Amino acid sequence: MEKKIRNLIDIRDLSTKEIDDLIEVANDIINHKEKYSHKCDGKILATLFFEPSTRTRLSFESAMLRLGGKVLGFSEASSSSTAKGETLADTVCVVSGYADIIAMRHPKEGAPMVAASKSMVPIINAGDGGHNHPTQTLTDLLTIKREKKSFNNLTIGLCGDLKFGRTIHSLIAAMSRYDNIKFVLISPDELKLPDYIINEVLEKNNISYVETDNMMEYMNELDILYMTRVQKERFFNEEDYLRLKDYYILDKNKLINAKKDLCIMHPLPRVNEISPEVDNDERAKYFEQAYNGVYIRMALILKLLEVK
Ligand code: CP
């Protein structure tokens, strides 16, 4: 029987137990880096990025290099044969003969599914349009576990662009599995969480949530405040973007009544939504979050390549 290839397209492709195991491995890597430095000797990761990235692409590449493997790929569609009109299906079909695993980012929602149907090796969705970003969510989960010790009993504020924010969509899908989770959905009317997520994830699983456009309304109740950027690249007209881009700016004053152990997160990059003065607040965890991305991606590569 042909062996089934394991991909990561959506965070729900992983069971709760598998997420726990990945987090355990990532923590072990953090504590014993040398133990893992040859686990992927002879393996190649391809990074196919049709959209810009700093953290996701470089942390994937760092992850594979730290495991002893090698990397190849491209960081923009214009430097690949996509610019000559090659389809994604053909590109992936070819590259899957050059590498053992592929991490890809694409502006079109669902593109990683197309890739997976043509690939001979595992496909990892490194962000598809305004849809999903499952490895950012693994990074977020590792950060939450390290800061809060548990995924249960948390009030989570999600602030900014909840409509196009793929990290938000994947994080809600992941956190909705745990007990006593309450979401505070903070956004302007135009950037509210899509109905399909409200209906198919929150309502369907009886998850408690409130919607507000006031970031201060529930600030004193939050255990986690997850800020997001208003994404210029997802807007159809510049005027709307300019009107909404600075709708929320977190600064020191806004944190006066927040919990002492609030965990402030952001997938980054940020533009203006977190003032740099917050960086020195011990509750600011967004740079740790970015560092954690390497270790959870190392754990994921090991899992998908079935390296013990
Ligand atoms: N968080 C994130 O996806 O960052 P990049 O766009 O820099 O990869």
In the chain, domain spans: 11-133+293-304, 134-290
Atom of ligand 1 nearest to the CA of 268: 1
95-118 mean pLDDT:
97
* Euclidean distance between CA atoms 41 and 191, whole angstroms: 45
53 lines ligand 1 (CB under 6 A): yes
Give residue 237's pLDDT band: very low, low, confident or very high (50, 70, 90).
confident
What pLDDT score was predicted for residue 234?
75
73 lines ligand 1 (CB under 6 A): no
DSSP string computed for 127-173: EETTTB-HHHHHHHHHHHHHHHS-SSSEEEEEES-TTT-HHHHHHHH
What pLDDT score was predicted for residue 106?
97
Residue with CA nearest ligand 1 atom 5: 53
Q: Which residues pair with 225 in a beta bridge?
A: 157, 264
Q: How far is the CA of 75 from the centre of ligand 1 (A)?
A: 12
267 lines ligand 1 (CB under 6 A): yes
Determine the CATH number of domain 11-133+293-304. 3.40.50.1370
Model confidence pLDDT, tens digit, residues 167-205: 999 999 999 999 999 999 999 999 999 999 999 999 999
Q: What is the pTM of this model?
A: 0.95
Give residue 18's pLDDT band: very low, low, confident or very high (50, 70, 90).
very high
Give residue 206's pLDDT band: very low, low, confident or very high (50, 70, 90).
very high
CATH 3.40.50.1370 fits 134-290, yes or no: yes
- By CB atoms closer than 10 A (0-12, 13-18, 19+), residue 259 is middle
225 lines ligand 1 (CB under 6 A): no
Residue 216 reports pLDDT greater than 80: yes
Q: How far is the CA of 2 from the centre of ligand 1 (A)?
A: 35
Residue 235 reports pLDDT greater than 80: no
53-75 mean pLDDT:
98
151-158 mean pLDDT:
98
96 lines ligand 1 (CB under 6 A): no
55 lines ligand 1 (CB under 6 A): yes
231 lines ligand 1 (CB under 6 A): no
Is 134-290 the same fold as 11-133+293-304?
A: yes
Calculate the average pLDDT of the chain. 96
136 lines ligand 1 (CB under 6 A): yes
Mutate to test the pocket of ligand 1, among 47, 48, 49, 53 (most ligand atoms within 8 A of CB): 53
What pLDDT score was predicted for residue 241?
85
Q: How far is the CA of 153 from the centre of ligand 1 (A)?
A: 28
Q: How far is the CA of 136 from the centre of ligand 1 (A)?
A: 8
